[in-house]
Amino acid sequence: MGYRVDVITDSVSEAVRHAGGLMFDRSRAGWDVVVLTDDPDNSRALAILGARTQGPGQLDDRFHRREREIRTVVTAIGGFGAEGTSAAVPGLEPHAQLLLWGQQVDDELARVLQPVRHRLGAAALSFKTHALHAIGVATTVEECEHFWADPTHGADRTAARSPTAMGG
């Protein structure tokens, strides 16, 4: 059984700010955490979180459906177009969980997406703080990261309905 998180972003610093705790927790739980980006900066911050980078042109077969694999795709709202939903993510298989960060401003999205949060443990708080310092951001790390989930996708659909869906 394979476990993978794909964080798709134009800005590594934004990915660390919004999903650094989730990346750390999943990496520590044995998941393969890959940040798909063309932003060459801040690789040290990703290493602190246990993630590796891959360029968008380097998509390998692992991004596409693999039998017996549980996947989570994390990106900013609108990262794949105006819809901001799983329909806009190329290659997203129906059993993959889709998490989006950012402010929801569209009433249409409010009907499709549900808010969820990932509570950071002590280790995730510490490692995310160090990762943020590595990218030059001195900020207080909140104990929860907030996402929007597409409940029509996900390996665990019951968890996608829960406001605290982000277990490790």
| Nearest-angstrom CA–CA distance, 44 and 34 | 14
Residue 64 falls within a domain, yes or no?
yes
Split into its structural domains, the chain has a count of 1
Residue 57 falls within a domain, yes or no?
yes
Instruction: Kindly report the CATH number assigned to the domain that includes residue 63.
Output: 3.40.50.10320
Q: What domain range is 55 assigned to?
A: 2-161
pLDDT (tens digit, 9 = 90+) per residue, 119-138? Answer: 999 999 999 999 999 999 87
Which residues are paired to 101 by β-bridges?
76
pLDDT (tens digit, 9 = 90+) per residue, 41-96? Answer: 889 999 999 999 988 766 555 545 555 578 888 988 876 543 444 444 555 555 67
Residue 90 falls within a domain, yes or no?
yes
Please give the full DSSP string across 26-37, using - where no structure is assigned. Answer: HHHTT-EEEEE-
Residue 76 falls within a domain, yes or no?
yes
| Alpha helices per DSSP H over 29-167 | 43-49, 107-112, 122-134, 157-161
Q: Tell me which residue of 30, 148, 43, 50 sits closest to 100, measured CA to CA.
A: 148
DSSP conformation class of 15: H
Output the furthest CA–CA distance in the chain (Å, rounded). 41
| Nearest-angstrom CA–CA distance, 64 and 75 | 17
Residue 166 falls within a domain, yes or no?
no
| Nearest-angstrom CA–CA distance, 145 and 142 | 7
Q: Would you give the distance in Å from CA 157 to the centre of its chain?
A: 17
Q: Which of 28-32, 98-102, 164-168 has the lowest mean pLDDT?
A: 164-168
